Chains A and B, each alone.
Chain A
Amino acid sequence: MSEGLNYKFLVDTFFIALSGVPITLFVTAVALLVALPLGFLLALTRINQIPILNRFSQVYVSFVRGTPIIIQIFIVYASVPLILTAFVEKYNWNIQIYEINPIWYAFIVFSFSTTAILIEVFRSALSTVNKGQLEAAQAVGLTNFQAYRRIVIPQAMVVALPNICTATVNLIKATSLGYAMSLQEITLKAKVAANVGYNYVEAYLDIFLVYIILCSLVEFGFKLYEKRLRKYKYVSA
């Protein structure tokens, strides 16, 4: 038993944890790339009361919001291989199901859950833009698409951005649950390192540090972007 913290291990493991950052960011980026457009489109179906899709989004959001991410991970991680097995046997595909990189499961789970969050983020943001903005754009001869792209979305984004930032940071933190499906991200790497000499406190401190640095950087980036977008609200006469 060592007394106090093992500082050498603390420093070494910090870099091991840091080596998990690319995977964490990769999963985050893919989830956002899927969820941003999908969440936006489904939010539009909610706002414009498109039949069926509107209802679908509503149910989808309550399902995802009403279940812990760890359970979503277990379900996807357990059920997708079963479904795939059925397909593989039926069509004689040449896939080794149990050798699939868990990052694919991570993509699925985190895209699904982030989409649900962003539907609500975009829905509330779009509803803050007065209907008159769209009407005025149509009246000066813009198509619906142009009106959304040039008038409605820029204004909605200003409102949505702080919440997108929160969603992104939550997503980064949630990827730590990826260790449950042996995703090689920050938490798993540090924990594995700790297993050797039971230096869990040091490992957890490292994990803590890496996440707080990562999330602070992301928040800072969002703040800068928000400042630029809000230009029209801040200028004074």
Chain B
Amino acid sequence: MLEIKDIHKSFGKNEILKGVDLTIDKGDVVVILGPSGSGKTTLLRCINFLEKADSGKASFGELKVDLHSASKKDIQAIRQKTAFVFQSYNLFNNKTALENVTEGLIIGRKIPKAEANEIGKKALDKVGLSDKYDSYPSQLSGGQQQRVGIARAVALNPDIILFDEPTSALDPELVGEVLTVMKNIANEGTTMLVVTHEMSFAKDVAKRVIFMDGGVVVEEGTPHEIFVSPKEERTKKFLKRVLPEDYTFYI
């Protein structure tokens, strides 16, 4: 459904992405792992045109675009098919939780307000915030804000949701509630591309795991393949650092 070909991106002299390919099928949950600076976030941002790639192609079903020179119309079309969950939530501070969710529906997709409110309330119910429709972001905890962020993405009913380290900015005790919500929507068959440092999520929920380092995909496979029998030296080194010594993996 989503296919990315040979994407390159540099910031100044610093080459972040050195030719990454990626294919995601409908209903897949794909997790990208890798050390800081390996280009995971940049890859995600390039897919949604929050950064402009230096070169690369993307195809979204029928829609084929050049990631460097896509027209405004194509960018808009791709953004209509995707949704993005940010590391720092980025909820609209001047809007209530419900308005945050409906903004893209009413303004971006021209859905009538009453219908958008229905969809928005359903999305907020799904993330367990039925009592927070009218709260402003400043009144919500980090975990609640990120759940609104996820509801905002889900409500758009996109072909794919891109998650950029959705739990990295959260206090440890709030991580669980967000991961639970993510697991729930994954189980509903939502296509997800997730950059995360939560190994448990990668193991339990991912269908495929991609390990990136130094701007390239080093290795990819099922969680079992990556976590139990990684082939590449770099993958082994990384997992050794992030997983406890005596960790045993069951599937």
Contacts and interface: CB of A to CB of B under 8 A. Distances in A.
B88 A140 contact: no
Size category of the A interface is: 20 to 34
A141 B136 contact: no
Interface stretch (A11-19, A115-123, A228-236): A228-236
Contacts, number: 73
Given A139-B50, A139-B83, A139-B86, 14 more contacts: A130-B90, A132-B86, A132-B90, A135-B50, A136-B90, A138-B49, A138-B79, A139-B48, A139-B79, A140-B103, A141-B108, A142-B108, A151-B103, A232-B93
Contacts of A232: 93-95, 136, 138
Nearest to B75: A138
A155 B152 CA distance: 20
Contacts of A150: 103, 107
A95 interface: no
A235 B136 contact: yes
A146 interface: yes
Interface of A: 130, 132-133, 135-143, 146, 150-151, 154-155, 232-233, 235-237
Q: Is the interface of A mostly helix, strand, loop or mixed?
A: helix
Q: Which of B94, B103, B135, B136 has the most CB of A within 10 A?
A: B94
Contacts of B107: 141-142, 146, 150
Contacts of A139: 48, 50, 79, 82-84, 86
A141 B50 contact: no
A140 B108 contact: yes
Contact of B139 (A135, A154, A237): A237
28 contacts: A130-B88, A130-B90, A132-B86, A132-B88, A133-B92, A133-B93, A135-B84, A135-B90, A136-B92, A137-B92, A139-B82, A139-B83, A139-B84, A139-B86, A140-B79, A140-B83, A140-B103, A141-B104, A141-B108, A141-B109, A150-B107, A151-B95, A154-B94, A155-B94, A232-B94, A232-B95, A233-B138, A237-B135
A93 B25 CA distance: 73
B29 interface: no
Interface of B: 48-50, 76, 79-80, 82-84, 86, 88, 90-95, 103-104, 107-109, 135-136, 138-139, 152, 156
Nearest to A140: B104
A139 B103 CA distance: 11
A151 B92 CA distance: 7
Nearest to B49: A138
Nearest to A236: B139
A155 B103 contact: no
Ranked 7 nearest A-B pairs via Cβ: A140-B104, A141-B108, A132-B90, A136-B90, A139-B84, A237-B139, A232-B136
Q: Which of B76, B82, B92 has the most CB of A within 10 A?
A: B92
A159 to B, nearest CB: 12
A172 to B, nearest CB: 30
A136 B86 contact: yes
Contact of A141 (B79, B86, B91, B94): B79
B159 to A, nearest CB: 13
B43 to A, nearest CB: 15
A150 B50 CA distance: 19
Contacts of B92: 133, 136-137, 151
B50 to A, nearest CB: 5
Nearest to B109: A141
A142 B94 contact: no
A142 B94 CA distance: 16
A84 B114 CA distance: 59
A138 to B, nearest CB: 7
A105 to B, nearest CB: 40
B20 to A, nearest CB: 20
A232 B48 CA distance: 29
A152 to B, nearest CB: 9
Given A136-B84, A151-B94, A154-B94, A141 B156 contact: yes
Nearest to B77: A141
A154 B136 CA distance: 15
Contacts of A135: 50, 84, 86, 90
A127 to B, nearest CB: 15
Contacts of B109: 141
